A and B are shown apart, each in its own frame.
Chain A
Amino acid sequence: SQLAEENPWALSVHEGESVTVNCSYKTSITALQWYRQKSGEGPAQLILIRSNEREKRNGRLRATLDTSSQSSSLSITATRCEDTAVYFCAPQTGFASALTFGSGTKVIVLP
């Protein structure tokens, strides 16, 4: 079974709207990372939130973490067409441990 799962599987919004992707994971973590993968590219990290943090912001991005429910969310405000991508959460379980990815949420931002 997967260590992490994003939901929904896919969604679309119009430019300027906000979007939220959710993540549930199944292990104790030292940190959780959010990555974005655009078509034809490798994943790029968006936010790293440590297990002792509840919220982290990076520009238009906001990640939350609830270790008691083993869940996280990533919100993007004022979306742009270039935010179209697959978004992954990746729980990290220890020092230099392998980062595992879920199936991702495909976000499509329409003009």
Chain B
Amino acid sequence: GPKVLQIPSHQIIDMGQMVTLNCDPVSNHLYFYWYKQILGQQMEFLVNFYNGKVMEKSKLFKDQFSVERPDGSYFTLKIQPTALEDSAVYFCASSLIGGNGAETLYFGSGTRLTVL
């Protein structure tokens, strides 16, 4: 089936540094999403993005977070500066515009971010 690729699979950085998580979505998809999952907890929505703009964001999407798709290929999540509580697995997803408000999201395997 369609694949979403996330690079890198693991990243370790020091608190206060900037980190960029990269996502290569399914090629013809138009909607993009980031979710955050702390180990052992449920997956929580951060943000979705369409046509160069943030459509919705949750309260977890702090001011230090930003998203973009600068060259029409990778969809990125940037955290600047990072905090200890940002340690989690971040999942990217993409979807094609669907009808009747029902869309299938395709998820990547996640990037495990560890902030020291």
Which A residues contact B (CB, under 8 angstroms)? 30-31, 33, 37, 40-45, 48, 50, 88, 92-104
Contacts and interface: CB of A to CB of B under 8 A. Distances in A.
Interface residues of B, number: 30
Nearest to B93: A42
Given A45-B105, A96-B31, A101-B43, A31 B91 contact: no
Interface of B: 4, 31, 33, 35, 41-45, 48, 50, 55-56, 58, 91, 93, 95, 97-98, 100-110
A97 B100 CA distance: 12
Nearest to A95: B101
B103 A100 contact: no
B102 A48 contact: yes
Nearest to B41: A103
